[in-house]
Amino acid sequence: MRVKVISAKGLIAADKTGTSDPLVKVSVGSTTKKTKSLTATLAPTFNETFEFTSKDTNIDEIDIIVEDVDALVNDKIGLLTIPLKDLPKGSEVTKTYKLEIPPDQKKATSAGTIDLAITALDFGVEAAPDAVKPAEQPKQAEQPKDVEQPKSTEALKPVEQSNVPTTVVPTTTQTPSDQVIIQTKGKLKVRVISAKGLIANDKSSANPSGTSDPFAKLSVGKTHNSTKPIAKTLTPTWNEIFEYQVLDSQSETLEIELFDKNFLKNAEIGHLSISLKDFPKAEEVLKEYVINPPTELKQQSAGTIMLGITAVDFGIPKGVSPSQAAIIKPKGKLIVKVLSARQLIDADKEGLSIIL
């Protein structure tokens, strides 16, 4: 799919000067891309286009986060979620969307709007055919000859429902015998160990190859943390641990951004997004992840980062493959009202039946 971030207006003023330095993050699944940041405006114009691939258009959504860029931690100033399942196939949809106010911005009464142009290139709702012949209705079964037909429609009026008792029947959900139900909610532990090959953002005549003062920002849902900055290195070692509460491991991701700490404004030197849905339960996964370079830097590599990630009390149990993991939706309730019946068949010789 193609997402064009056109512009926004009426954004939240997050800075004391009464303005913001906005950028827009666009995420589909585990892929996140961002616009350039604009300085001191509540009505930015971006006109930037990104392309994404969806693994399941019935589940995936476009997640939009508008942020005010700050020296240490960016502030969220607008949120938006757009389902993919209702997009028309092959047609660009240009629309003004109302942004939701982030929980941190309690004093705001509005988060403004954002203009997007979205195209589902090779999926989506097909256009309806010009004419479809209605299916032939099945013929009604003939009434038994000994059943008296009602003389008027008055006899078929429904009874009043106010005095009819209701019965609540709980539903059950079954899974194939070879599948295992997994927990998708719980605690996540992330150990930020080290990084190498980072982008050198600080260059001088004395050090033309350059260096950086890197730190990492981590986010899961609405919880954010940052490591301490390490001075003048492209191979930092942090060994810091953070914990998060995951509400749905099938849709949430671990977002990581790396910055070079500067006196006035930090500079992004990389980012990555990690899906949480296939992690093993209660087992630390040590892995070196490739860092994506910022979109404004035309670099092929931004280095790697070593992480230790543990799904403490959720995820796939040991010995179970991802294909065997069954995600069961919460049980619901079905309400059945038995109202009345008329013109039943006389099954007893007396001409009456006992009904249950």
302-314 per-position pLDDT tens digit? 999 999 999 998 8
Q: How does pLDDT run across 8-45, given as a tens digit for each residue?
A: 999 999 988 899 999 999 999 889 999 999 999 999 99
Average pLDDT of 242-252?
A: 91
Q: What is the share, in percent, of the chain residues with pLDDT greater than 70?
A: 79
Q: Is the pLDDT of residue 353 over 70?
A: no
> What pLDDT does residue 132 have?
42
Protein fold of 170-356: Immunoglobulin-like (2.60.40)
Picking from 141-145, 261-265, 292-296, 301-305, which range would have the lowest pLDDT averaged per residue? 141-145
> What pLDDT does residue 133 have?
45
> What pLDDT does residue 297 have?
77
Contact 257, 67 (CB under 8 A): no
> What pLDDT does residue 322 have?
66
**Is 171 strand, coil or helix?**
coil
What are the φ/ψ torsions at residue 223 (nearest 5 degrees)? -105, 130
β strands within 261-354, DSSP E = 267-275, 285-290, 304-311, 325-326, 333-336
Q: Is the pLDDT of residue 328 over 70?
A: no
Instruction: Please report, for the chain, the start and end positions of each structural domain, with discontinuous segments joined by +.
Output: 2-119, 170-356
CA 22/CA 166 separation, integer angstroms: 54
Architecture of domain 2-119: Sandwich (2.60)
Give the mean pLDDT of the chain.
82
| Stronger pLDDT, 220 or 277, i.e. the higher one | 220
Q: What is the share, in percent, of the chain residues with pLDDT greater than 90?
A: 51
> What pLDDT does residue 316 have?
85
pTM over 0.85: no
Q: Is the pLDDT of residue 165 over 60?
A: no
Average pLDDT of 88-108?
A: 91
Average pLDDT of 277-293?
A: 92
Q: Is the pLDDT of residue 300 over 60?
A: yes
Q: Is the pLDDT of residue 173 over 60?
A: no
Q: Is the pLDDT of residue 111 over 90?
A: yes
> What pLDDT does residue 274 have?
95
Q: Is the pLDDT of residue 159 over 50?
A: no
Q: Which residue has the tokens 């991802």?
A: 322
The percent helix, strand, coil of the chain (3-state, each to 5) is 0, 40, 55
Residue 102 DSSP one-character state: P
Same fold, 2-119 and 170-356: yes
Picking from 140-144, 183-187, 261-265, 350-354, which range would have the lowest pLDDT averaged per residue? 140-144
| Stronger pLDDT, 306 or 300, i.e. the higher one | 306
> What pLDDT does residue 174 have?
46
CA 187/CA 205 separation, integer angstroms: 48
> What pLDDT does residue 298 have?
74
Q: Is the pLDDT of residue 103 over 90?
A: no
- Report residue 180's pLDDT band, with 50, 70 and 90 as the boundaries: low
Query: 84-106: buried (b, 16+ CB within 10 Å) or exposed (e) per residue?
Result: beebeeeeeeeeebebebbeebe
Q: Which residue has the tokens 């032939």?
A: 136
> What pLDDT does residue 296 have?
81
- Report residue 144's pLDDT band, with 50, 70 and 90 as the boundaries: very low
